[in-house]
């Protein structure tokens, strides 16, 4: 954040920074602010002197707690690390979600809840079975999240400056997230197809290369993007619901919009849960398009299921209305910590990288 925006006689103003401060204390405080340290505290004179801070509705930490001057490369590196960690930590739950969204599961793969599913998968199929396909997910998550966060940060700033200069714009945040989703899903969709086929019960694929080769030879390159439009149809409303819920909760839990970790965590977790539950029907259709579940295909005379409309019809024919909410528990459980991990890791690495860059420049 630019220090010149703090107004005349602000905190960085030397001896005039506050009553009762010695010149040495003011100089020390000025040094902290110049290095970007301690900017997250909004109380006292520091909070009184600065204008409202533009916050990302999906993030935990206040952006003013981060050093200024983060580059596109910094956003991409921090985003890639955040995406990989998010998917790796939550991968077993994601495996359970995929199986619980099966329309006509094998009797041995019918689970009452997430914990029972994990226990039975490990006990009957091996300790590492819930992790099968993790390597392709991590490979896709890196570039996908790098593109997402870099695009999001750039568009959010550009659009906010146009729509609401110097302030926060919900329209800008939502539009930036939706556009960034186009890039994220384009990079991630092939990995999603391979991952979900390897997660299914009795999957014939033990290696990523076997799955990729089989899909390419039997269904063509288009199979890797068969669910792309459905993925976008799901993620656009997901982002909208997430942002609106988060901002609504922030207005109640944190009306002053100060850095408050507990309010950010609570608002983010609730927003992720609401958005995940509301978009579960689309996620079920996406899973069906990715996996082309054989038992469901037997009820579909056209062979491969292509397109969202066909997926919606097939889900209803096989399981009725309730089938649209298969795996909703696992999806919500996955989303709550997933969002927290992604944003907290992203902000931490963005702060760390930018701070090191500033220290390196200062030491030159």
The answer to whether residue 21 is domain-embedded is no
Residue 341 lies inside a defined structural domain of this protein: yes
| Statement: residue 146 has pLDDT above 90 | yes
- pLDDT at residue 35 in the model: 44
Tokens (6 digits) for 302: 């056209």
**pLDDT in the model for residue 162:** 87
Between vectors from CA 279 to CA 338 and to CA 212, what angle results, nearest 5°?
Answer: 70
Average confidence (pLDDT) over 64-75: 65
Q: By percentage, how much of the chain surpasses pLDDT 70?
A: 75
- 123 located within any domain: yes
The CATH number of the domain holding residue 83 is: 1.50.40.10
285 pLDDT above the threshold of 80: yes
- List the structure tokens of 332: 């919500």
Q: Which of 339, 326, 266 is nearest to 90 (CA)?
A: 339
Number of domains comprising the chain: 1
Asked if residue 41 belongs to a domain, the reply is: no
| 232 falls within a domain | yes
Please give the pLDDT value at position 294. 63
pLDDT tens-digit series, residues 79-103: 899 899 989 999 999 999 999 988 7
Q: Average pLDDT of 305-313?
A: 82
- Residue 59: the pLDDT is 45
Tokens of 213: 């080769």
Which of these, 269, 357, 363, 355, lies nearest to 65 by C-alpha position? 355
* Exposure class string for 27-41: b at 16+ Cβ within 10 A, else e: eebbeebeebeebbe
Q: How confident is the model at residue 55 (pLDDT cuts 50, 70, 90)?
A: very low
Rounded to two decimals, the pTM is: 0.67
DSSP string of 170-193, one letter each residue: HHHHHHHHHHHHHHHHHHHHHHHH
Q: What range does the domain containing 148 cover?
A: 72-363
Average pLDDT over residues 6-11: 36
Sign (positive or negative) of CA dihedral 72, 233, 87, 213 = negative
- The verdict on residue 203 lying in a domain is yes
CB 10, CB 17: distance < 8 Å: yes
| Chain-centre distance for alpha carbon 214 | 30
Q: What is the pLDDT of residue 192?
A: 92
Give the closest residue to 308 by CA, choosing from 231, 221, 220: 231
**What pLDDT is attached to residue 7?**
36
In a domain, 153, yes or no: yes
Segment 312-360, tens digit of pLDDT: 888 898 888 999 998 898 899 888 888 778 777 777 787 788 878 888 8
Residue 3 domain-assigned (yes or no): no
């Amino acid at each position: 954040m630019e220090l010149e925006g703090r107004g005349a006689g602000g905190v960085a103003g030397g001896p005039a920074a506050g009553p009762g401060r010695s010149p040495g204390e003011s100089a020390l405080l000025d040094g902290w602010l110049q290095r970007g340290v301690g900017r997250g505290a909004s109380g006292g004179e520091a909070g009184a002197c600065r204008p409202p801070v533009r916050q990302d509705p999906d993030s935990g930490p206040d952006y003013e707690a981060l050093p200024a001057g983060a580059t596109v490369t910094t956003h991409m590196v921090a985003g890639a690390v955040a995406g990989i960690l998010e998917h790796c930590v939550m991968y077993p739950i994601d495996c359970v979600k995929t199986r619980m969204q099966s329309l006509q599961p094998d009797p041995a793969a019918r689970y009452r809840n997430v914990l029972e599913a994990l226990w039975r998968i490990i006990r009957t199929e091996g300790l590492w079975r819930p992790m099968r396909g993790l390597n392709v997910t991590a490979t896709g998550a890196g570039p996908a999240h790098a593109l997402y966060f870099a695009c999001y940060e750039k568009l959010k700033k550009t659009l906010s400056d146009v729509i609401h200069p110097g302030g926060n714009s919900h329209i800008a945040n939502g539009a930036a997230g939706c556009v960034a989703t186009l890039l994220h899903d384009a990079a991630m969709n092939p990995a999603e197809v391979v991952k979900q086929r390897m997660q299914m019960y009795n999957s014939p694929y033990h290696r990523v290369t076997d799955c990729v080769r089989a899909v390419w030879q039997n269904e063509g390159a288009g199979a890797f993007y068969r669910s792309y439009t459905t993925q976008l149809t799901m993620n656009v409303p997901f982002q909208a619901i997430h942002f609106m819920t988060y901002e609504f909760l922030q207005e109640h839990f944190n009306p002053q919009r100060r850095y408050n970790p507990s309010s950010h965590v609570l608002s983010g977790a609730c927003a992720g849960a609401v958005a995940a539950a509301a978009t579960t029907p689309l996620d079920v259709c996406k899973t069906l398009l990715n996996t082309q579940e054989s038992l469901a295909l037997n009820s579909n005379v056209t062979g491969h299921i292509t397109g969202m409309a066909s997926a919606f019809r097939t889900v209803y024919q096989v399981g009725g209305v309730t089938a649209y909410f298969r795996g909703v528990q696992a999806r919500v459980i996955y989303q709550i910590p997933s969002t927290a991990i992604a944003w907290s890791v992203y902000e931490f690495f963005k702060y760390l990288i930018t701070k090191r860059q500033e220290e390196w420049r200062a030491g030159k």
